[in-house]
Structure 1
């Protein structure tokens, strides 16, 4: 790996998907320590949330893609973390989303997930994508359906338990 890398930035109608920055840390930690993180393995300790924040950037280095901080285009307020995720213990790369309380119920996850999936297909050349969703997370299940995903079995994660696989439409099905 070289000593420098760039995290691309994506703009949508209302959002900027950008690299995480130091001013995002407290927003991210607050989310990861809250009950809202329950369907993604949390709530976590502050120390673990800090390490996870650092992992956002590290994933870009290790994989060449990752999750963006989703920010309001006008104010730069962080609203969540959405993007492409493939940790060591995942069955394949996924389109992943977590929205902070400030972004809930506004279509933020949908807008950012569509932009992320488009980047995966059009820029990275992915021909397939999935999302792993805790079946208790009814908002994420509804979002997967809204994104056109279809159920495709389950994945038993050693610490997160049974997650449902939601298969995204292939790139050619979206044109």
Structure 2
């Protein structure tokens, strides 16, 4: 398994793998009704134990695949804002881009900035040929962001995910080819 250097850094953000000390943050994030409105399987807040379990699932993905969801923080303060990253989606044999961001980050361009960083990581470090993303049909903002990134809607692949309807988006990743 290839090893990568973290955190990923932009002018404003720091992205790093999750760790056990993030438990309280994840419990608060997953416990927020507004944040969880479009998140399956319940589209509702999670209790403390289920939220903590989701953190362990994210950490296990890193162990199993060598990549995963990143905790997104302000670079200057290391204050966690949510998470954004990549995970293997076995149902379609592809890497999925996903994010859950807390309300403190809403309206500040954090989602698009973190998303671009994750897309670049998938393309440049993982050498992925494509990535996909699923979104709740009622989450228009997410669909607009994905389209702005260059994702295309694939309505023929829409369907249920964790028992909830989802729209399917896909993006081919362009790799630099060496000059002859």
What's the TM-score, normalizing by structure 1?
Answer: 0.86
Contact residue 80 and residue 98 of structure 1 kept, 8 A? yes
| 2:11 paired residue number | 13
Which one of the candidate residues 77, 80, 104 is aligned to 1:78?
Answer: 80
Secondary structure, aligned partner of 2:154: strand
Contact residue 7 and residue 19 of structure 1 kept, 8 A? no
Matched, 1:52 2:54: yes
1:1-175 alignment to 2 at 5 Å? 8-35=6-33, 36-41=35-40, 42-89=44-91, 92-153=94-155, 154-157=157-160, 159-172=162-175
Question: CA-to-partner distance for each residue in 1:21-55, whole Å, 9 max, x for gaps?
Answer: 34432222112122221211232121110100111
Flag the 1:23–1:64 CA change in 2: closer, same or farther, 3 A: closer
Flag the 1:151–1:169 CA change in 2: closer, same or farther, 3 A: same
Contact residue 151 and residue 167 of structure 1 kept, 8 A? yes
Contact residue 40 and residue 160 of structure 1 kept, 8 A? no
* TM-fit CA distance, 1:7: 6.9
Contact residue 7 and residue 60 of structure 1 kept, 8 A? no
Flag the 1:23–1:105 CA change in 2: closer, same or farther, 3 A: farther
Give the aligned length: 170
Question: CA-to-partner distance for each residue in 1:121-171, whole Å, 9 max, x for gaps?
Answer: 111110111111111112211211221211112343353422111112432
The whole-number CA distance in structure 2 between the counterparts of 1:115 and 1:13 is 11
The whole-number CA distance in structure 1 between the counterparts of 2:74 and 2:158 is 33
What's the TM-score, normalizing by structure 2?
Answer: 0.84
Which structure has the larger Rg?
2
Unaligned runs of 5+ in 1: none
Q: Would you identify which runs of 4 or more consecutive aligned residues in structure 1 move more than 4 Å?
A: 87-91
The whole-number CA distance in structure 1 between the counterparts of 2:13 and 2:160 is 32
